[in-house]
Amino acid sequence: MSEHDEQDGLDQLERQLDAAFAATRPRRGFEDELWARLEPRRRRIGIGWSSLVPLAAVGGAAVVLLAGVVLVAVGAFSGGFHGGGAASTASRPADSGGGVLATGRTAPGAFAPAALPFGPVPAPPNAGVSQVVQDSRLSPLPAAFRVAIPDTSLPQPGTSITVFRYDPNTGPPSGAILEPGALPPGIGGGAYPSRPAADALADASARGAGANQSAQAGAAVTLTQVRLVYVAVVAGDEGFLEPAYLFTGTYQNGGDAVTAQLLLPALAASAVR
C-alpha cells in the first residue's frame, strides 16, 4: 500500500470515528431520567438551577455569608502566627513573607460545630505517627519522641486559622504536604479554631507518642524543628487543605541517624472528625 493510500485509509477511519461518536447516544429517556435524579441534590444544596443568582438579587445576606466563609487577611508568621486584620474576600491565598493566612482573633471556645464553614474536617492521614523520611518513602517509627525546640519557638497561632476546600479531581492527592506560600490558586477557605503547637505535642504525648513512654533514650525521635504546612486530605468528593505542624528531627537507627518527621493537626479537636 502506498503512503498516499495509507493516509487515505486513516482519513477515512477518522471520518468513520467522528460519525460513530456523533451517533452513539444513550437510550431514549436516559437524559431526562438522570436530570430528574440530580434535582433532589439541587434542592438540598439550595442554589438556583437554571441560572446563577447574582448576589445583589439576594441582598446583603449573601455578602455577609461569603465574608464569613471565604478566606481573608494575611497574618505574619515569624515563629508564630498572629491573627488580625479585617476579614475580606479573596479568591487566591496570599503569602506574606512565609506568613499563613488567618482570620482575626476570636474568643476561645467561640466556635461551635455549626459555625465551622465546611463542618468538621477529616483528620490528615498518618497524623500523630512519627515517620522516617528515607529514600523519599515514609515508614512508621516507634511512637516515642522528645522535643528539643525552645517553647518560645513553638508556633502560637491566633485562635483561628484557615482551612481551604478544593476539588479533588483537579487538586493535590490526599497526604500531599504543601508550603503555605504554594497553595493552589482560586480555592476558598474558612476560619477554623486552631491550637498552639505545644498543645498538639501534649495531646500526642498523652496518646502514647511522648518520650516519657520510652525506656531507652535512643529509641525516641528527637524533634528539632517545626513549621506550619498544609496537608491535603481527600474525603469522598471533597478535598481539604488543613493546617498542620510538621516537626522534623532525627532518629537513631543503630549507628545511623535518619531524618524523621511528625505531623500534628494545627486545628482544635472540635474541628476534626
Partner 1 sequence: MPGDKPPFEDLYRDYVGRIYAYLRSQLGSAADAEDVTSHVFVKAYEAYRRYEPRHETPSAWLFQIARNAALDHHRRSGRRERMERALAREPAPSADPGVMAQERILYRELMSAVAELPERQREVIGLRHSGLSFLEVGQLMSCSEDAAKMLYHRSLKALRAAMAEREAPSPSSSSEES
Cβ contacts of residue 271 below 8 Å, gap of 6+? 111, 116, 120, 121, 163, 192, 193
For the CB of residue 41, give the shortest distance to partner 1 in the complex, in Å: 6
Q: Which stretch binds partner 1 (CB under 8 A): 18-26, 100-108, 219-227, 253-261?
A: 18-26
Answer yes or no whether residue 56 interacts with partner 1 by CB under 8 A.
no
Task: Give the range of 36-44, 134-142, 174-182, 210-218 binding partner 1 by CB under 8 A.
Answer: 36-44
User: Taking CB under 8 A as the rule, does residue 28 contact partner 1?
Assistant: no
Q: What are the cell numbers at 114?
A: 455549626
CA-to-CA dists, residue 78 to 2, 85, 86, 120, 255, angstroms: 71, 17, 20, 28, 35
Q: Does residue 41 belong to the site contacting partner 1 (CB under 8 A)?
A: yes
User: What is the torsional sign of CA 118, 119, 122, 123?
Assistant: positive
Bridge partners of residue 194, in order along the sequence:
267
Distance CA 143, CA 266 (A): 19
Among 2, 136, 152, 169, binds partner 1 (CB under 8 A): 169
DSSP tag of 98: S
Q: How far is the CB of 56 from partner 1 (least distance, A)?
A: 17
x-or-dash pattern for partner 1, window 225-244, by CB under 8 A? ------------x-------
Three-class secondary structure of residue 194 per DSSP = strand
Tell me which residues touch partner 1 (CB under 8 A).
Answer: 9-10, 13-14, 16-27, 30-31, 34-35, 37-38, 41-42, 45, 47-52, 165-167, 169-170, 186-188, 237
